[in-house]
Amino acid sequence: MNSRLRPILSTDMRVVSSINEMQFIAAEARKSGKRISFVPTMGFLHSGHASLLKEGRTRGDILVLSIFVNPAQFGAGEDFDRYPRDMERDSSIAAEAGVDFIFTCTPAEMYPADYQTWVDVTELTLPLCGASRPGHFRGVTTVVCKLFNIVLPHIALFGKKDYQQLAVIRRMVTDLNMPVEVVGMPIIREPDGLAMSSRNKYLSPDERKSSLCLSRALQSVRASYHAGERNAERLKQIVNNIIALEPAVIIDYVELRHCETLAEVAMVDNHSLLALAVKVGTTRLIDNCVLGEDD
């Protein structure tokens, strides 16, 4: 049996650092009738990523995790160079979750000299994080498209904390007729309510406490919605009032939008997305909830 295919039939996890090798492994797996589940990440895994991997394990015969800190989705002055990286820790979490292959490669292999091709979803990328981070989603969609071509998954799992990213990837898959099922998974939170994020590592103890205003704001809006409030401006004001109590927290945006189209709404319903982005000190955090769904 080809040594590159051995993990398909055993519990050994392998790290694959070549695009060509990963494509070969994926193609051979598909030929043998195996279903590939895929979780793309930038590494520094936490329990939120682990939840995606565990679900992926149940949905496929082969589970692939990618770890690639994608320079194309970082703007000037953002945290590409200091983004947390810990391959040894990530490998331990991946093995515990039952990953068969970790795919990782260098930026130079992903974007070789004279690279010119980009994937751009136009309308869904304009508001929210797209307005604050020009070019960010072009980098996201391009790398995810490339990863789909490398890993050849049947199913790909993404967390709903990056809600706009999930909507954009779903649009790309639909528009480009990609044969990939995209699954959005619930936000995983710390016991105190903070949404898990690799960037939480940046927070000082005081900033960590201040950041809890995000989950408090979401809970307050949900309570008001279930009590009958439907006016978007009044619900946004609840968020503004709660965050204003934390001097270290600066609002980037507080938006209520349709959960599929991301269009602004004046009156909310069960399909309305409350999306927040803030700076806590120097750390940018996002969070969200769909008013008609449980977190």
- 226: annotated active-site residue: no
Question: How is residue 87 written in tokens?
Answer: 């391959």
3-state SS, one letter per residue, for the chain: CCHHHHHHHCCCCEEECCHHHHHHHHHHHHHCCCCEEEEEECCCCCHHHHHHHHHHHHHCCEEEEEECCCHHHCCCCCCCCCCCCCHHHHHHHHHHHCCCEEECCCHHHHCCCCCCCCCCCCCCCCCCHHHHCCCHHHHHHHHHHHHHHHHCCCEEEEECCCHHHHHHHHHHHHHCCCCCEEEEECCCECCCCCECCHHHHHCCHHHHHHCCHHHHHHHHHHHHHHCCCCEHHHHHHHHHHHHCCCCCEEEEEEEEEECCCCCECCECCCCEEEEEEEEECCEEEEEEEECCCCC
Q: Do residues 41 and 185 lie in contact, with contact meaning Cβ atoms separated by under 8 Å? A: no
Q: Which residue among the candidates 49, 136, 258, 271 is catalytic per the annotation?
A: 49
Instruction: Give dist(CA 237, CA 219) in Å, integer.
Output: 14
Catalytic residues: 49
